[in-house]
Amino acid sequence: MSVIRNILNSRSSKGGNFFNILTAILGFKPKTLAHYKKAFTHRSLNQKDAEGNAINFERMEFLGDAMLSAVVASHLFKAVPGGNEGYLTKMRSKVVSRKHLNELGKDLNLIEHVQTNIPKDQFGVNIHGNLFEALIGAIYLDRGYKYCKRFIYDRVIDPYVDIEQLEGKVISYKSLVIEWCQKEKKEFDYEVYEDTGNDELKHFAVKLRINDRVVAKARATSKKKAEEKASKRAYYALQTKID
C-alpha cells in the first residue's frame, strides 16, 4: 500500500497526516475528513457506499465548480459595477478557465493525494483542475459557504484576479479570430491537411484560411489544439487589424 494510501486511510481525525496536509492546504482545520477523502478518490477504485452510490470526486467536482463560479461572479459583480452581462461572463470565464484551474491544482500538488488504480503519470492535465474543484466542493460540504468563499478568495481571487490584467487576457484566440471575421464579414475555414511529420505521437496539421488566403498553419496532438495554435499565429499576424 502506497504512502498516500496510508495517509488517506489514517484513522486519526486530528493527528493523522491527511488532517495535517489538509490544514496546510486549506488554511483552516477540516471537520469531516470523509468529504475530503471522497474529493481525492478516483473512479478507478470503483468504490460504492451502503446504498450502492459511487464514491469518487466527480460529484464533488460538480459542486465545487458551481461554488467557484458563484463566488467569482459575486466578486466581479461588485468590483465592476458598470460591467454588462457579456463582459462579466467573459471575465468570469478567464478566472475559472480550465488552464487556470489546472495551474492552481498543480500549485497545491493535489494529485499526490489521490487514491487511484491508475498510474498518476497516465492522467491528463485536467486532473489538476478537477481535483481543485472537488476540493472546493468538499470545503462547502464540510464548513459551509463562509469557509468556501474564504478559500476561493485566498487561493484564487486575491492573488490572481486583477481587473485590468484580465481585460487584456486572451483565453481563446480561435474565438477572437472568429468574432473578428464575423464582424468584418470575412469567410474563414480551418482545414485539416496531410501531415508528413515523423512523430511517434499522432499530430494534426491545420491551415486557417481567411477569404481564401492561408494566414496561418499549425501542428498539435489534437485538432482543437492545432486550431487554437493556428488562431494564435493568425491573431499576431493580423493584430493591428483585429485590435
Annotated binding site for Mg(2+): 61, 130, 133
Beta pairing partners, 218: 206
Phi, psi angle pair for 226, to nearest 5°: -65, -40
Q: Please tell me the number of Cα atoms within 13 Å of 6 on its side-chain side.
A: 4
Q: Cα separation of 65 and 163, whole Å?
A: 21
Can you tell me whether residue 10 is helix, strand or coil?
A: coil
Which H/E stretch holds residue 47?
Answer: strand 47-48
Catalytic residue among 49, 103, 107, 133: 133
Q: Is 195 a catalytic residue?
A: no
Locate cell 468538499: which residue? 138
Cβ count near 117 (within 10 Å) = 9
Q: Cα separation of 103 and 107, whole Å?
A: 6
Catalytic residue among 49, 58, 65, 179: 65
Q: Cα separation of 83 and 91, whole Å?
A: 10
- Residue ranges at the known binding site: 61, 130, 133
Can you tell me whether residue 123 is helix, strand or coil?
A: coil
Q: Is 65 a catalytic residue?
A: yes
Residues with a known catalytic role: 65, 133
